[in-house]
């Protein structure tokens, strides 16, 4: 029997986090933010594809669509040829006063962006608008309700500075969201309708109408 026999090694301390290394929580938050950006990019590509379909339905030329989307003419031509083979192409009304939820949500989004642009440092809705633009907030019922609350608060806080058309727009949007007219009569994706309503609402408010 040697002197080493029967002697068990004393276990050392369990290795802990390496100083200066990432914790699991930090890594999780970092990757979640990356995934949000990736997801937003994928959603924007899909939305652009759907918008090309809308432009094709409006009779726009391939050259115009390529110029506006920043895509190559062959890529646009391929998309347009595919859509023209489908019948019918979507017919989208561009009247601001439409009662389906995606359209009203788009109007609310546009109104909130106008308020945030007018009061970038004090608008309560500014951070929410930025989160929507970056794809970090969706148009879930909860998020829409929160955006409505922030917009209403901004309209109250900045009532002396904002045109009366902002309050009129909000009142119409709010009534529509409280008593929605039901599903849209078109098969156009909700994201496309929100985007169109958002742009039209901002332009109308910018024109003072």
What pLDDT was estimated at residue 209? 62
Under 8 Å between Cβ of 62 and 73: yes
Q: How far apart are CA 78 and CA 114, in angstroms?
A: 36
pLDDT for 112 equals: 97
Task: Find the helix or strand (DSSP H, E) in which 68 lies.
Answer: helix 62-69
Q: State the pLDDT at residue 11.
A: 53
The count of other CB atoms within 10 Å of the CB of residue 191 is 17
Per-residue pLDDT at 133: 83
Q: Which conformational region is residue 59 in: left (phi greater than 0), alpha (psi within -120 to 50 degrees), or beta?
A: left
Helix (H, G, I), strand (E, B) or coil at 61: coil
Could you give the CA distance from residue 134 to residue 44 in angstroms, rounded to a whole number? Answer: 10
pLDDT of residue 77: 94
pLDDT along the chain (209 residues), means of 10: 52 51 83 81 90 89 93 92 76 86 96 96 94 85 96 96 96 92 70 94 86
């Amino acid at each position: 029997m040697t002197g080493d026999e029967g002697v068990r090694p004393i276990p050392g301390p369990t290795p802990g986090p390496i100083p200066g290394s990432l914790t699991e929580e930090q890594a999780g938050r970092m990757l979640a933010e990356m995934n949000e950006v990736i997801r937003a990019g994928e959603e924007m590509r899909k939305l652009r594809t759907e918008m090309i379909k809308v432009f094709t339905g409006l009779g726009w030329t391939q050259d115009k669509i390529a110029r506006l989307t920043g895509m190559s003419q062959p890529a646009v031509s391929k998309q347009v040829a595919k859509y023209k083979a489908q019948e019918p192409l979507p017919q989208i009304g561009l009247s601001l006063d439409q009662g389906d939820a995606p359209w009203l949500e788009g109007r609310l989004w546009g109104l909130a962006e106008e308020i945030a642009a007018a009061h970038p440092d004090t608008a309560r809705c500014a951070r929410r608008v930025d989160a929507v633009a970056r794809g970090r907030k969706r148009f879930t019922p909860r998020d829409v309700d929160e955006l409505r609350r922030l917009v209403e608060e901004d309209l109250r806080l900045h009532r002396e500075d904002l045109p009366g058309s902002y309050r009129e727009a909000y009142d119409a949007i709010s009534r529509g969201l409280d008593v929605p007219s039901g599903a849209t009569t078109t098969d156009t994706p909700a994201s496309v309708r929100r985007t169109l309503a958002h742009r039209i609402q901002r332009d109308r408010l910018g024109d003072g109408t």
